[in-house]
């Protein structure tokens, strides 16, 4: 089964954001991946609502918003209003994750929980039936263009097992360092959605790259 592809807009040329949005609109990509960083949870600051507004106006596909911020609860409604369809919050910052997940769903968005490379799959046992997506970080969050952490494969296999054992409907999304070589093994390990930033935007033909990542056979 082909994977869903969510190109990360963080890797786009911001001097021509509209061109990047049009490229994704016209490609086989499924979602826009939107990385919001606060400089506190991660050592980088990306962008916020003004960029969301541009995406909301021009994007013709779902906005998969990845919040790398310390207090996501404060902004759930704002991101809904800004056009988010999927909202990912980090496990590591949520003191009441169950409540946060319910609030995201209450606002009509798909609820995604993101886990850092050091966070064990076992931490998800009691939330796996409540989330729509688990966003497995395959790099330490904060920057695009980093090297894929190989241990992610082992985590994906264990997450897939947890999902099956719990009869959960959660999808597995992989974020960070996804490339032309690891896409197929990731899909085979159980990944449903692949985020790709640099692999898409630094390639000579981003549309073709998206097509390949989707069904890399």
Report strand pairing: 171-175 vs 62-68: unpaired
Residues of this chain that bind ligand DX5 (CB under 6 A) = 8, 10-11, 33, 35, 66, 139, 141-146, 175-178, 195-199
> Under the criterion CB under 5 A, does residue 38 sit at the interface with Zn ion?
no
Catalytic annotation on 35? yes
CB of 182 to ligand DX5, least distance (A): 11
Catalytic residue among 35, 38, 64, 132: 35
CB of 35 to Zn ion, least distance (A): 4
CB of 16 to ligand DX5, least distance (A): 18
Rounded to whole angstroms, how far apart are CA atoms 66 and 117?
15
* 8-state DSSP, 65: E
User: How far is C-alpha 110 from the chain's CA centre?
Assistant: 12
Angle, alpha carbons 159-161-162 (nearest 5°): 65
Residue 135: C-alpha distances to residues 39, 46, 205 (Å) = 20, 19, 27
Rounded to whole angstroms, how far apart are CA atoms 66 and 62?
13
**Residue 7 binding: pick among ligand DX5, Zn ion, none (C-beta 5-8 Å cut-off by kind):** none
Stretch 161-190 residues interacting with Zn ion (CB under 5 A): 175
# of chain residues touching Zn ion (CB under 5 A): 3
Which residues belong to the active site? 35, 175
């Amino acid at each position: 089964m082909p994977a869903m592809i969510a190109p990360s807009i963080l890797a786009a040329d911001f001097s021509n954001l509209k061109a990047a949005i049009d490229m994704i609109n016209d490609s086989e990509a499924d979602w826009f991946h939107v990385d919001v960083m606060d400089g506190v949870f991660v050592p980088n600051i990306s962008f916020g609502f003004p960029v969301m507004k541009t995406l909301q106006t021009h994007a013709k596909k779902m906005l998969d918003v990845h919040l790398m911020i310390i207090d996501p609860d404060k902004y759930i409604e704002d991101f809904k209003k800004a056009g988010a369809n999927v909202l990912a919050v980090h496990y590591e910052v949520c003191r009441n994750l169950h409540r946060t997940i319910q609030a995201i769903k209450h606002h009509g968005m798909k609820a995604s929980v993101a886990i850092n490379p050091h966070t064990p799959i076992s931490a998800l046992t009691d939330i796996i039936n409540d989330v729509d997506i688990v966003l497995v970080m395959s790099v330490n969050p904060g920057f695009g263009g980093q090297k894929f952490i190989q241990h992610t494969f082992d985590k994906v296999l264990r997450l897939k097992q947890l999902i099956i054992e719990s009869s959960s409907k959660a999808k597995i999304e992989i974020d960070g360092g996804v490339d032309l070589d690891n896409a197929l093994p990731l899909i085979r390990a159980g990944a449903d959605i692949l985020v790709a930033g640099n692999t898409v935007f630094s390639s000579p033909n981003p549309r073709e790259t998206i097509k390949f990542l989707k069904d890399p056979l």
